[in-house]
Structure formats: C-alpha cells, structure tokens
C-alpha cells in the first residue's frame, strides 16, 4: 500500500504568505494530479498557536531567520506563520482536499516546533502518523510539498528511519534554502536512504 504525503501546502508558504517559499504555488496542480496514483493521501498542516515559541516575535531582540536555544536544542526563528484559524494557515485554495483521507496538524504545542510529520522538534514526541500508516498497512511513501529543506526533509528522514520506503518527488517540492540548507537536506535525505526522484 502506497501513500502520498502532502506537506504543508498552505497559504503562508505560498507567494504573498508570511513565510513564502519561491514557487510554492507552482506545485499545486502537479500534486493534485499525483493523488490518483495512491492508495491513501495524507495532508499535513503547520498549525501554530499565536505567540508560538518558533516565532521570532516571541523572543525580544531576535529577528526572523536567526536562532535560539530551546530545551530540545537549536531552533530557527520564523516570521509569525500558520497561526491557527487564520487564512495563512489554510491550504492553498487550489489544493484538492477532497482526496485526503487524513489531515495531520503539527506544531500546535506552544513550546515545541514540529517540522516532521512524525516527530516534533524534540525528536521524541510522536504525532501519531506512524501508527496511522502502519495500521492501514501502508509501507511505501511519496512525499511532496513545502518546504523541501525543512518539513519535507525532516519528514522524509524520519519516515526512512522508521523503516518506510520513502521517495521525495523533488519537482513537486520547493525549498526555503537558508544558508545552504537545501544541499544539506538533500545530502541528509540520501544518507538516510530516501530516494530523490
């Protein structure tokens, strides 16, 4: 059984959004077309309470794209984005949500960010997605979405480490690319056994 995991195709990650990824909206039609080829489709949704600890605005004197030390390690600080209930947190309007079996929200705990769809940024707290996929008999995952070097990367590496067969369809992803983060992410995914297609 094969699942398409669609990572964070939300307004705030598309042009005009709070944390816009270049060309983020250009992948939507292709992702919609891919959905028919899979047994299951899962959409993930970055979903932060106002004042989330990953927002630079929550750390006086800090600017977006800097870092801070959290109890679980170094955290990149982002512009306020994907705030629960806002239009920025909504899926891109052209994304076909009808085909989704599951919408998995992540990053809702005020004190922990969650790039990965499997584990929060403490790298320990599970989101529950592993259990969902395994209990449905799904072993093979294709990941698409935003952003290649953060949420797609962390999700792909975690999935491969958990023993899923993982492919990242690169042409249906777009990157933030902060200080070489894209090439580091591609190296890390290859090293984890992820197929980059």
Active site residues: 8, 106, 151
Closest to ligand VGL by CB, 136 or 181: 181
46 scored as a contact of Zn ion (CB under 5 A): yes
Pairing of strands 73-76, 67-70: antiparallel
186 scored as a contact of ligand VGL (CB under 6 A): no
Does an H or E element contain 182, and which?
helix 181-191
Instruction: List own/partner pairs for 54-63 with CB under 8 A and 24 or more apart.
Output: 54/78, 54/107, 54/113, 55/79, 55/80, 55/81
Give the pair of three-digit tokens for residue 189.
């995914």
80 scored as a contact of Zn ion (CB under 5 A): no
53-72 binders of ligand VGL (CB under 6 A): none
Closest to ligand VGL by CB, 56 or 133: 56
* The only residue of 38, 47, 55, 78 in contact with ligand VGL, by rule CB under 6 A: 78
DSSP 67: E
Binds 141: which of Zn ion, ligand VGL, none (CB < 5-8 Å by kind): none
Q: If DSSP codes are grouped into helix, strand and coil, which group holds residue 43?
A: strand
Minimum distance of Zn ion from residue 156's CB (angstroms) = 17
Number of residues that bind ligand VGL (CB under 6 A): 9
Closest to ligand VGL by CB, 160 or 175: 175
Minimum distance of Zn ion from residue 1's CB (angstroms) = 29
CA distances for 127 relative to 82, 107, 118, angstroms: 18, 9, 5
Between the two ends of the chain, the Cα-to-Cα distance in Å is 19
Contact residues toward ligand VGL (CB under 6 A) are 8, 13, 46, 78, 115, 146-147, 150-151
Contact residues toward Zn ion (CB under 5 A) are 46
């Amino acid at each position: 059984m094969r699942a398409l995991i669609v990572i964070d195709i939300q307004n705030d990650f598309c042009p005009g959004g709070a944390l816009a990824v270049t060309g983020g909206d250009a992948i939507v039609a292709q992702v919609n077309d891919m959905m028919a080829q899979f047994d299951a489709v899962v959409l993930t949704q970055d979903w932060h309470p106002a004042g989330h600890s990953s927002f630079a605005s929550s750390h006086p004197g800090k600017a977006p794209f800097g870092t801070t030390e959290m109890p679980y390690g170094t955290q990149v600080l982002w512009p306020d984005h994907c705030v629960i209930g806002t239009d920025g947190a909504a899926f891109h309007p052209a994304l076909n949500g009808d085909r989704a079996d599951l919408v998995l929200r992540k990053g809702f705990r005020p004190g922990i960010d969650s790039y990965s769809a499997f584990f929060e940024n403490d790298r320990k707290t599970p989101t529950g997605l592993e259990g969902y996929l395994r209990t449905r008999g799904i072993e093979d995952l294709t990941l698409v979405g935003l952003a290649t070097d953060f949420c797609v990367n962390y999700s792909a590496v975690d999935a491969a480490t958990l023993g899923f067969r993982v492919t990242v369809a690169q042409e249906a992803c777009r990157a933030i690319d902060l200080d070489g983060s894209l090439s580091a992410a591609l190296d890390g995914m290859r090293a984890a056994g992820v197929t980059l297609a």
